């Protein structure tokens, strides 16, 4: 697994999401509750999700 990175949209006053990406998967966790574990998804699924976000499909 790659290095954990915090969302670029996070700041010190909001809950944050951290992501660790490798060539075959992505792991997502809550930076405020790291002991709760993480969600792992295939890298292709993570790339699809990011493209959907960038396209504005989850702006609600």
For residues 7-14, average pLDDT: 69
- Confidence at 58, pLDDT banded by 50, 70, 90: confident
Please write the tens of the pLDDT for every residue from 18-53.
999 999 999 999 888 889 999 999 999 999 999 998
Query: What CA dihedral angle connects 23, 12, 59 and 49, to 10 degrees?
Result: 10
The answer to whether position 60 is within a domain reads: no
The answer to whether position 15 is within a domain reads: yes
Please write the tens of the pLDDT for every residue from 11-20.
666 678 899 9
pTM for the structure as a whole: 0.76
Looking only at the bridges linking them, the beta strands covering 17-21 and 39-42 are unpaired
Find the domain containing 22 and state its range.
Answer: 5-54
- Give me the pLDDT at residue 13, please: 63
The answer to whether position 32 is within a domain reads: yes
Number of structural domains (the chain) is 1
Name 28's Cβ contacts closer than 8 Å, sequence gap at least 6: 17, 18, 19, 38, 39, 40, 41
């Amino acid at each position: 697994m790659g290095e954990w990175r915090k969302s670029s949209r996070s700041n010190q006053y909001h809950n944050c999401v951290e992501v660790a990406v490798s060539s075959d998967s992505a792991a997502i966790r809550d930076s405020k509750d790291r002991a709760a574990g993480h969600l792992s998804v295939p890298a292709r699924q993570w790339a699809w999700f990011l493209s959907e976000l960038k396209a504005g499909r989850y702006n609600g």
